Amino acid sequence: MFAWQLFRGQYHLLRAGICHRDIKPQNLLVDENTGLLKIGDFGSSAFEPRKSPQPSYHVTRYYRPPELLLGSKVYGCEVDIWSSGCVFGEMLRGSVLFPGKSTMNQIEVSYLNLYLDLLPGKK
């Protein structure tokens, strides 16, 4: 139910042209009486529905998409989709999906978890 609410909330933000740019568990608020999830902390957000040059990246490392880890400064709201997917994976797993200790290590951890199984001969 929480994942559905997260993706639904993100859908509404995207329709309004709002990029949150810091989707992570700490920015998701849940009412314990109703189970209603709200997206909070819009300090890094911007009205930028299209990809555009950014002065810096805002996404917390564990939830940062590969293109930002590799240094891209041109991005849009799609960074929130990756972040939400990481949060969903964390909900299923019960721990951080890609726990990198640095930006370089984050790239390695993401690669090992996502792409290594796609190599020929890997079982």
**22 assigned to active site:** yes
Between strands 28-30 and 52-53, the pairing is: unpaired
- Rounded distance, CA 7 to CA 31, Å? 17
Stretch (H or E) spanning 67? helix 66-69
Token pair recorded at residue 27: 């920015």
Selected catalytic residue, list 22, 31, 80, 117? 22
Residues marked as catalytic: 22
